[in-house]
Structure 1
Amino acid sequence: MIGNERHSLPGVIGGDLLRHAKIPLLLLVAVLISAVLVVTTAHKTRLLTAQREQLVLERDALDIEWRNLILEENALGDHSRVERTATEKLQMQHVDPAQENIVVQQ
């Protein structure tokens, strides 16, 4: 009656693998796990690289803005420019400190 037994093919293959091919089966599982980890790591690396590039572009834009602000500050803080603006637009005159005392005392 042993010859009339019916076995399923997946069951026979699984049984043979567990009995005779434990090391190759473990190696297959290890290869599959490492392949998934490599793909995951590559994906995360690409995301981080894209994020880094975006941050570098943002830093460059902020650096340009900072330089422009420094130039603007220097231009606005220039004493000769302020003095010229005061005399031309506001018709102000330079006051001598010695003459100022005379005016205040009167």
Structure 2
Amino acid sequence: MIGNERHGLVGIIGGDLLRHGKLPVILLVAVVISAILVVTTAHETRRLTAQREQLVLERDALDIEWRNLILEENALGDHSRVERIATEKMLMQHVDPSQENIVVQP
């Protein structure tokens, strides 16, 4: 005669796995951990790639700004060179527009 004992399915499966299936459980845990690490690594790689792309764009913008500053410096340098030549060789002087009396030398 069969006894009236009732065992839960989860309990039976868990007992069998602990008694006879330790290797498959260990392998299942290893596969799950490996899958989580793969997903985490892929996500981090995508994040770092996007960050690198942003830094490259910032570098390009700074490089363009640097070139513009060099051009501006050269343009201002030419102006100061012309001013220096005018004051040294041609003896020109700055005129203050606020002065009312302008003296003209013959």
1:12-23 superposed matches below 5 A: 12-23=12-23
Distance in 1 (CA, whole Å) between partners of 2:33 and 2:16 is: 23
Moved over 6 A (4+): none
For the residues of structure 2 that align with 1:45 and 1:7, how far apart are their CA atoms? 48
Q: Does residue 1:94 correspond to 2:90, yes or no?
A: yes
RMSD over equivalenced CA pairs, Å:
2.6
5+ residue gaps, structure 1: 88-92, 96-106
TM-score (norm 2): 0.74
Please identify which structure carries the higher helix content. Answer: 1
Equivalent residue number for residue 74 of structure 1: 74
Offset at 1:2? 6.7
Deviation readout 1:7-66 (Å, 9 max, x if unpaired): 000000000011111001100001001101110111111111101100100000000000
CA distance in 2, matches of 1:56, 1:6: 67
Paired-residue identity, %: 77
Equivalence for 2:45: 45
Which residue in 1 is equivalent to 2:82? 83
Provide the rounded CA distance (Å) in 2 between the counterparts of 1:55 and 1:64.
Answer: 14
- Looking at structure 1, the residues matched to 2 and 13 of structure 2 have their Cα atoms a distance apart, in angstroms, of 19
User: For residue 38 of structure 1, what is the amino acid of its counterpart?
Assistant: V
Number of paired residues? 91
For 2:78 and 2:66, the matched residues in 1 are separated by 18
Deviation at 1:83, TM superposition (A): 1.9
Structure 1 counterpart SS, 2:3: helix
